């Protein structure tokens, strides 16, 4: 089981032993992924559910809001569906609280384990510019290597959005190619080839992420490198 449903707590049978079985099967799978040094999207899923359970523990009303719902009246003119709660009783609430209390330590343990793996891998990855870096750095190329001489080439674009008084950065990547590094095809030459073949970015910011060890690309190296790139560009801004 790679992923839990968002409403796994109240989905199907609300029974302590059943939910315990579902949770432990999920945790066992996550453990095996972490053993293989595969972090994403499993880490994001873990953090989501862990934070949700913490909120549920602090606010019982949120538990009611997470109950599955059935349609009680359909307003076809306004395309709105009005829901009513299926069950709200003390016995059921007590069962849910028992499940939450059982689940939280398991989520905390796995989140902590995943964070430690993340930090260990991040310390083995370096980010550096390739050639001269232009003033505009929110779009360009990311060269990622960590498997022999293979170089994974990505186009990246960073979007800055504001929420309240804070600015956040989100990054999107698209893999363009995979090439082989060599003395005749250096990272600088790879950048020159990109400029020649992709004229939409005549002076692109280009960064190289090098891993000291071999890790899975899509579930581990790329997500970590993307976050490190955002941090690197943010510090230089």
Q: Specify if 11 maps to a domain.
A: no
Q: Specify if 213 maps to a domain.
A: yes
Q: Specify if 6 maps to a domain.
A: no
Under a CB-based contact definition with an 8 Å cutoff, are residues 121 and 215 in contact?
yes
Domain containing 134 equals 125-236
On whether both 138 and 110 belong to a single domain, the answer is no
On whether both 116 and 156 belong to a single domain, the answer is no
Count the alpha carbons within 13 Å of 21 in the hemisphere toward its beta carbon.
5
d(CA 171, CA 159): 6
Instruction: Tell which of 67, 99, 122 closes a domain.
Output: 122
Q: How many residues does the chain have?
A: 237
On whether both 107 and 204 belong to a single domain, the answer is no
Q: Specify if 27 maps to a domain.
A: yes
Q: Specify if 148 maps to a domain.
A: yes
Residue 35 has a pLDDT of 95
Instruction: Give the count of beta carbons closer than 10 Å to the beta carbon of residue 24.
Output: 14
Residue 62 has a pLDDT of 62
Rg, the chain, Cα only: 23
Residue 81 has a pLDDT of 42
Q: What is the pLDDT along the chain (237 residues), one digit of tens a residue?
A: 678 988 888 888 889 999 999 999 999 999 999 999 999 999 999 999 999 898 888 776 666 666 655 555 554 444 444 334 544 556 777 888 899 999 999 999 999 999 999 999 999 999 999 999 999 999 999 999 987 789 999 999 999 876 666 667 899 999 999 999 999 999 999 999 999 999 899 999 999 999 999 999 999 999 999 999 999 998 866
Instruction: Tell which of 122, 149, 179 closes a domain.
Output: 122
Residue 197 has a pLDDT of 94
Q: Specify if 107 maps to a domain.
A: yes
d(CA 125, CA 227): 11
Give burial (CB, 10 Å; 0-12/13-18/19+) of 168.
Answer: exposed
On whether both 85 and 117 belong to a single domain, the answer is yes
Residue 65 has a pLDDT of 62
On whether both 157 and 218 belong to a single domain, the answer is yes
DSSP-assigned letter for residue 221: I
On whether both 130 and 204 belong to a single domain, the answer is yes
On whether both 183 and 81 belong to a single domain, the answer is no
Please choose, from the candidates 127, 139, 122, 135, the residue with its C-alpha nearest in 3D space to the C-alpha of residue 232.
Answer: 127
On whether both 176 and 189 belong to a single domain, the answer is yes
Residue 131 has a pLDDT of 93
On whether both 69 and 169 belong to a single domain, the answer is no
DSSP-assigned letter for residue 157: E
pTM: 0.82
For the chain, the domain total comes to 2
Residue 84 has a pLDDT of 47
On whether both 110 and 165 belong to a single domain, the answer is no
d(CA 67, CA 210): 46
On whether both 115 and 129 belong to a single domain, the answer is no
On whether both 111 and 147 belong to a single domain, the answer is no
In angstroms, how far is CA 128 from the centroid of its own chain?
23
Q: Specify if 76 maps to a domain.
A: yes
Q: Specify if 101 maps to a domain.
A: yes
Under a CB-based contact definition with an 8 Å cutoff, are residues 219 and 38 in contact?
yes
Instruction: Tell which of 55, 90, 122 closes a domain.
Output: 122
């Amino acid at each position: 089981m790679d992923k839990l449903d968002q409403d796994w707590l109240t989905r199907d049978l609300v029974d302590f032993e059943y939910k315990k079985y579902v949770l432990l099967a999920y945790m066992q799978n996550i453990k095996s992924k972490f053993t293989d040094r595969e972090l994403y999207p499993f880490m994001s899923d873990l953090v989501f559910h862990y934070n949700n359970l913490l909120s549920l523990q602090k606010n019982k009303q949120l538990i009611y809001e997470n109950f599955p719902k059935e349609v009680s009246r359909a307003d076809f003119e306004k395309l709105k569906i009005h829901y009513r709660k299926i069950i709200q009783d003390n016995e059921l609430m007590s069962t849910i609280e028992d499940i939450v209390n059982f689940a939280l330590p398991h989520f905390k343990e796995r989140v902590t384990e995943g964070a430690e793996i993340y930090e260990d891998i991040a310390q083995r990855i370096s980010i550096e510019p390739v050639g001269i870096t232009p003033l505009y750095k929110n779009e360009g190329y990311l060269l990622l290597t960590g498997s022999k001489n293979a170089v994974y080439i990505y186009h990246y674009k960073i979007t800055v959005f504001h929420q309240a008084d804070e600015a956040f950065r989100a990054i999107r990547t698209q893999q363009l190619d995979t090439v082989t590094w060599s003395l005749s095809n250096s990272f600088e030459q790879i950048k020159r080839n990109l400029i020649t073949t992709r004229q939409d970015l005549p002076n692109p910011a280009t960064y190289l992420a090098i891993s000291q060890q071999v890790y899975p690309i899509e579930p581990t190296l790329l997500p970590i490198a993307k976050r490190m790139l955002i941090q690197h560009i943010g510090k230089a801004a």
